[in-house]
Structure 1
Amino acid sequence: MSVRVDWRQSVAFTGSVLKYIAVAMLIPLTISLIYREDIVVFLASMAITVAIGVGLEQLNDDTDLGPREALLLVGLSWGAVAIVGAIPYLIAGYGTESTLRYPVNALFESTSGFTTTGATVLGEISTEKHSHAIMMWRQLTQWLGGMGIIVLMVAILPEAAVNGAQLIESEAPGPELQKLTPKIAETARLLWLFYLSFTVLLAVLLIALHYLGFAPNMDIYNAVAHAFSTLPTGGFSPQADSIAAFSPAVQWVIIPFILIAGTNFALFYFLTQGNYGAFVRNREFQVYLGANIGLTVILAGLLFTGSAPVLELGGTTEGAIENSLRQAAFQIASLLNSTGYATSDFAQWGTTAQALLLFAMFIGGSAGSTGGGVKIIRWLVVFKGIHRQLVTTAHPSAIKPVRFGDSVIDEDVIKAIYGFTLLYLLTFGISTVLIMFDASRVGMELTLLEGLSASLATIGNIGPGFGFLGPFGSYLSFPRTSKLLMIFLMWVGRLEIIPVFVLFTGAFWTE
C-alpha cells in the first residue's frame, strides 16, 4: 500500500511556524537588553530557529493541505515548537549548574510551557538564579500555547486559512469548533483579539494595584509575566511561591481571570454582539460556573472549620472567613481548569480537601477555552448518554436523543466523545502504572497518590500534583525515562489525544 499523506508539505509548513516562534523571541531578547543578561542566548536561539524553519520550508511542494496533512501539521508543529523552545534553556544552562543544561530537562520545561501544563524541573525558581529573560521566555511559551499556535498561524497567514477549519479543529480544545464568522481566518483573529485584550487588561490591573500600594512586589515585570501565564491557564511564575508571594488583593484580581480563561471564548463574541442571553443560557457555562461555586463552598467550609488547615504559606484559615473563601476560590478555579497556580501548599492539606482537589482536576475547563482536562461538555454528554441508556433499557421502544440545550447531539459526536473519554482514562491509567514502575526501577520512593497525580497533572496539562509534586514542588527527581513519558503526555494532552494517536495508525498513512 502506498503512502497517501503529503508529509513534505506538512513539514514545510511546520518550518513557517518555527520562523514565527523566532519572531516571538524578540520579547525575551528585549528583556535581556534591558537587564543586560543572556543577550547572546536569545540572538543565537533566534538564528538557530530561523535556520531550522527556513530549512524545513525548502520541502514545500506548493500543494494545499488536505485533512490528513492538516492533522500531521498540527502534531509536528507542537512537537517542533517544544524542541526549539528548549534551545534558550540549553544555551543559557551550558557550562553552569542549571538543571536545564540537560536536554531532557530543557525539553520537559519547554513542552510544559507551550502545552500550558506548568510542571517544572527548574529547581530553584528565581530571577537571581536564572536571568529575567529566561524566566520571561517560560511565561511567553505558555501564552503562545494558550490560544493555540496553529490558530495564530490561521489568523495571520493566508495559506493557512485555506484549510483553517481542519487545522483549528485539530488543535482547539473541545469536541467541535464554533465558527463565529463566515471566514475561519476572521474567527481565529477574533479569538486571539479576545485573548490579547484580557491579557493586557489583567497586566494593567496588576500594575495599578502596585502603584496604588496594594501589591508592593507586583512590579511591571511580574505583572506582565503573570498575565502571560494566567490567560493560557499555564501556571508558571517567576516567583518560587507562585501567587502566594503576592498580596490578597492580587489573588482576588487573578481569580476572575482564571475563570475567564476556562470559559469558551466564543461566548465573549456573543457579548460584543449584545446577545447576552446566549452567554448566560449556555449550559456548559452554567455547569462550569456552578462547579466552581459549589466546590469552592465545600472547600471553604473545610478550611474554615480546620478540617484542611493551611500549614505554611497563606496563613491560618481556621475561623478566618475571608482567607478560607479566598484560598478555596483560588485553588478550585486554578485546578478545575488546569491553571496550576497556588496561594498555599495544598499538598499539606487534609485528605478530604486533597480528594476534592483531585476531583476538580478531572473536570477541566470549557470547550473553546484555554483550559485543559476532559472538558465539561464531554462529561455532560457522557452522563446524558448514560441516562439515555438506562431509560432505553427500561423502555426498549423509546426513542430518546441526547440533547444539549435546544440542540440534539449527533450520534457520531457522541461516539467520538465516548472514544476520547475512554482513551483519555486508559492513557492516564497505563501512564500511572508506567510511572510507578519506573520509579521503583531506580529506587525512587513514590506513593500511589503521587503517581496518580503525576500522570493526571501532565496529561491534563494541570502542572502541580500531590506530595512532593505539590504546587511548590518539582518533577526534577523523576528518572529521564519518566520525564520523556510525561513530555509525551503533555503533548497528547494539549492536542486532546486523538490527533496525535491517529498519527501512529497505519490507516492514517495509507490509502
Structure 2
Amino acid sequence: MFDQFSKDAVVRPRIDFRLVSGILGGLIFCLGVSMLLPCLIALIYHEASWSAFLITAGGTMAAGGLLFYRYKPEHELRMREAFLIVALIWFLGSLFSAFPFVLSGSLESYTDAVFEAMSGLTTTGATIFGGITASGIQNPDIESLDKSILFWRSLSHWLGGMGIIVLTLALLPLLGIGGMQLYQAEYSGSTADKITPRIQETALLLWTIYVGLTAGEFVLLWLHPSMDWFEAMNHAFATLATGGFSTKNASVAAFDSVYIDAVITLFMFLAGINFALHFRMFTGDPKPFFENREFRFYVLLTAIFTVGIVGGLVITQDYSIGEALQYGTFQVVSIVTTTGFGTDDYMLWLPFSSFLLFLLFFTGGCAGSTGGGIKMIRLMIIMKNISREFKQLIHPQAILPIRLGNKVVEQKILKTILGFFVMYFIVFAAGAIIMTTMGFDMMSSMGASIASLGNIGPGWGEFGPINNYAKIPIFGKWVLLILMMIGRLELFTVLVLFTPWFWKN
C-alpha cells in the first residue's frame, strides 16, 4: 500500500505519530473532564474522595491538553492511524481511569484498579471488589464504597458503551480532520450505518438516542420505592451500556422486585439492538426496524433460549412458572446482550438450563449496539454459510451466493467473518489455557476467558455471578483485561497492531 500525499505534496510517514498523539491528547482531555462529575457527587455526599477525582481530572486534562496543544492535528486521518488511536485510547484511558480507585484508598493495588477501570470502559462488568487478592489483600465490598466511586464505575460503563471515540467524532471536523476512519475502526467487521451523510451528525444523533433511552430507564427505575435517584441512575448507565456494574453486592437480585427486573430486562434488550434502528423508529420510520434480518434473528434466538431455560427451570428445578419467567428471562437477556447483571445464581441450575445459558456466552448483541461478543450478524452469516455447504454437496456445480435479504454477502466479507471466528476461538482458548496454568479448573478458566473476551463480566465456576476476580494473580488480571479490550474492539482492531504488515509500507 502506498502512503498518501498531503496537499503540499510532501510524503507523510506510514504512520503520523504527531497526528496520533494530538488526537489522543484531545480524547484524554475529554476523559479528564468526565472525572469532574464523580468529583461533584463526592462533594454532594461530603466524601473525602473528591480530592482523588480532582487530582486525577487535573492531571488527565493537563496531559491530554499538552499533547493536543503540542501536536495539534493538521492532516487527514488514515486507517492505520485510526486503528492505533482506537486501541491506545482504551488502554491509556484505563490507565488514567484507575487512579481515583487508588488515590481514594478504595484499592491498594494499581493492577486491581486498572482491571476495574478496563472492565468499566469496555462494559465488561467483571469486578475485583469484595474478594481477597492473591497477595492476601481484602478488597472492600461494593456497598462499602463511596458513592462517587460507585458513580465513576457506572459512568465509565456509560462512556464506554457508545464509545468515547464516537462521542468525540462530532468534534473532529472542527479540527480539520475527518472522523469516518475512527467510526469504521470502532465497528470493524460490521456495516456502519451512518444514518446521515456527516459523521459528526451521526455521532450526535446516536448519543441523543443513547441519552434518551438512559433517561427513560432512569425515570422508570426511580418510580420504584426501593431505588433512590442515585441507584436508578447507576443502573440506567450500566444497563444501556450493557455493562453490569451494580451498586449492590448481590447485583439486581438485591432489590428483589419483579418490576425492576422487568424494566432492566426491557432496556437490556433494547441496548442490544443496532442504534441506527432505534433512530429509524424514533423518526417515525418503523419499517426498517421490523424488517431488519439481524433484529429478527436476535429476537428469535433470545426467544428460543428463553423458552428452553424457563422450561428447564420449571421441569427440572421446581421453579414456579412466574419465578422461571422472571429469573430465566432476565439471565438470558443479560448474557445474550453481554450485560452481566444477575438476579439468580445460574451456577446452581441443573445441567440442562445452565448449559443452554453457557452457549449464550458465545453470542452477543446486534452490530452497532453497545453489546460485546461475536454479534448476531456474524452468527447469521456463519449459519447461512453452513447451510450453503450442505446444499453444495448435493449440487456441486451450482453457484449458491449467501444473501441477507436481497443483498449478496461479498466473498471478502465472508472470509473476514470466518477469519474472525477462527481468531476469536484461538484467543478464547489461549486465555483459558493461561488461566489453567494458574491453578484454576477447566470450567473456571474457560468461563473467565469467554466472560472477559465477550465483555460479559460474570463467568463460570470460581468466577460465577456471586463471585469476583480478586483472587487471580497479577499476571492473570492483565491477561483478562487485555482480553476485555480485544473483545470490545472486535479483535482485529487490536490484533492488527501486532502484525508486521501494519508497520510496513
Q: TM-score under structure 2 normalisation? A: 0.93
- Of 281, 289, 292, 2:291 maps to 281
Amino acid at match of 2:403: R
Match of 1:5 in 2: 15
Correspondence for 2:111 among 104, 115, 125: 104
The 3 A distance-change label for structure 1 pair 34 and 224 is: same
Question: Are residues 421 and 128 of structure 1, via their aligned partners in 2, closer, same or farther at CA, if it must alter by over 3 Å?
Answer: closer
Deviation by residue 1:459-499 (Cα, 9 ceiling, x = unmatched): 00000011221112110001111111001100110001101
The residue type paired with residue 324 of structure 1 is A
CA gap of 1:173–1:503, structure 2 versus 1, over 3 A, is: closer
Rounded Cα–Cα distance in structure 2 between residues aligned with 1:146 and 1:61 = 26
Aligned length: 484
1:221 alignment partner, one of 211, 221, 230: 230
What amino acid sits opposite 1:423 in the alignment?
A: M
Question: What per-residue deviation string (whole Å, max 9, x for no partner) do you get for residues 293-344 of structure 1?
Answer: 1111111111122x2x4xxxxxxxx252211101010000000110000001
What CA deviation, in whole Å up to 9, does each residue of 1:162-198 have, x standing for no partner? 4322211111375221121111111111111111100
Counterpart of 1:76 in structure 2 is 88
Deviation at 1:429, TM superposition (A): 0.9
Q: Equivalent residue for 1:20?
A: 30
Moved more, 156-165 or 12-21: 156-165
Query: What residue in structure 2 maps to residue 489 of structure 1?
Result: 483
User: Taking structure 1 as reference, are residues 125 and 157 closer, same or farther at Cα in structure 2, changes over 3 Å only?
Assistant: farther
Between the aligned partners of 1:349 and 1:141, the Cα distance in structure 2 is 32
User: Could you tell me how far apart the structure 2 residues matched to 1:321 and 1:127 are?
Assistant: 32
1:232 equivalent to 2:241? Answer: yes
Aligned partners of 2:222 and 2:502: how far apart in 1?
50
Q: 1:208 aligns with which of 211, 223, 247?
A: 223
- Deviations along 1:358-408, whole A, 9 cap, x unmatched? 101111110010111101100111111222233234323211111001211
- The aligned runs of 1:51-450 (5 Å cut-off) are 51-57=62-68, 58-60=70-72, 62-93=74-105, 98=106, 100-123=107-130, 126=141, 129-159=144-174, 162-172=177-187, 175-210=190-225, 216=226, 218-246=227-255, 247-305=257-315, 307=316, 309=317, 318-437=318-437, 439-440=438-439, 446-450=440-444
1:268–1:279 CA contact under 8 A, matched in 2: yes
Question: What is the deviation of 1:159?
Answer: 4.4
The letter for the 2-side match of 1:250 is: I
- Aligned partners of 1:207 and 1:219 also within 8 Å: yes
CA distance in 2, matches of 1:126, 1:204: 27
Contact 1:161–1:184 under 8 Å retained in 2: no
Aligned to 1:455: 449
Q: Does 1:48 align with 2:73?
A: no
Distance 2:177 2:74 in 1: 13
Contact 2:362/2:374, CA 8 A, preserved across alignment: yes
Q: Distance in 1 between matches of 2:129 and 2:321?
A: 35
**Which residue, out of 462, 468, 477, partners 1:474?**
468
Corresponding residue number in structure 1 for 2:136: none
Q: In structure 1, how many angstroms separate the alpha carbons of the residues matched to 2:281 and 2:190?
A: 22
C-alpha RMSD over aligned residues: 1.7
2:142–2:249 CA contact under 8 A, matched in 1: no
Structure 2 residues without counterparts, runs of 5 or longer? 3-11, 131-138
Q: Is the 8 A contact 2:29 2:60 kept in 1?
A: yes
SS in 1 for 2:224: helix
Counterpart code for 1:300: V
- The runs of 4+ residues in structure 1 deviating greater than 6 Å are none
State the one-letter code of the partner of 1:356. Answer: L
Q: Deviations over 1:256-288 (max 9, x none)?
A: 100001011111122133322211111111111
Q: Which residue of 2 aligns with 1:39?
A: 50
Q: Tell me the CA shift for residue 18 of structure 1.
A: 0.8
1:63 Cα deviation after fit: 2.0
CA contact (8 A) 1:11 1:76 kept: no
Distance (whole Å) between structure 2 residues aligned to residue 461 and residue 319 of structure 1: 29
Q: Which residue of 1 aligns with 2:7?
A: none
Preserved contact between residue 235 and residue 463 of structure 1 (Cα < 8 Å): yes
Q: Is the CA contact (8 Å cut-off) linking 1:179 and 1:187 kept in structure 2?
A: yes
Q: Which amino acid aligns with 1:241?
A: A
Change (3 A) 1:508 1:156: same
Given that residues 113 and 234 in structure 1 are in contact (C-alpha distance below 8 angstroms), is that contact kept between their aligned partners in structure 2? yes
- When the two structures are superposed, what TM-score results if normalisation uses the length of structure 1? 0.92
- Of 264-273 and 131-140, deviating more is 264-273
Aligned-partner SS, 2:361: helix
Partners in 2 of 1:502 and 1:160 — Cα distance? 27
